[in-house]
Structure 1
Amino acid sequence: MRTVAQVIQTKQIQQVHTIGADETMLRALQLMAEHNIGALPVTEGGQVIGVISERDYSRKCVLKGRASVGTMVREIMSSPVTTVTPKQSVSECLSLITDLHLRHLPVVEDGRLVGLVSIGDLVKETIAEQQELIQQLEQYIRGEV
């Protein structure tokens, strides 16, 4: 079973964009649009204290008639945040995401943010792993191994 560290290494974009809790939602949306991402870890003093996503924005800001200019990230971010370590397996992360109804997991090592994995990253990795296993089994059945 592959680990979160392996998933992060295979991602095309490895840089993690973050935002401060006291930034406006407008700034968060601008960052997400600029980098074509759906969520940002929220940091304070170098620590991950939450996650803000397009889903948070639509449910906690738009549907409640709040303005993105006057709403601070702190007010609508998802917190407390569930994090994972680079050593955790893809399977463990998928279980967390499924059980807790999450879409993004910040990856933290020694208290420092080192990555972010999405449900899409984890599903993609699982499919690749299963395809590799099927290929190996087919080769074994044909006596090629």
Structure 2
Amino acid sequence: MWWVIVALILGVAGLQAWIRLAPSHPEDWHVAPRTAEAVDMPNGVQRAVPAGNVPLERIDRIIRATPRTETLAGSPRAGFITYVTRSRVWGFPDYTTVTVQDGQLVIFARARFGRSDLGVNERRVERWLADFRLGG
């Protein structure tokens, strides 16, 4: 019976290691949104708001201030940035791409693992957009 417990512990540890250590290749995740409109998905969300003359540096500052978030590829100067934000306990990676298309600030956020992100990306993106609108 003890071997079942050991196998279970090793299985959970292996899963945790895969989630935390799986490589994030920019060529897989640093992709432009297909459209500049709002889209709801089971494992993510896309939002678009008028960009005006506001530089991408402003949304970049807001996003990089989010805990457990780092830049995967791109830059505000390039006009196209992808970030990785990891969940607190398990370290699940969510990928968010930000760009300006057709005068719209487009934020495309999606989970890497699972069929549903339980609304995590939508809540995060809406918080970022609220800060952006307030001049964050």
Aligning the two structures, in what range does the TM-score lie when normalised by the shorter sequence? under 0.3
Structure number having the greater helix percentage: 1
Between structure 1 and structure 2, the one with the greater Rg is 1
TM, length-normalised to structure 1: 0.25
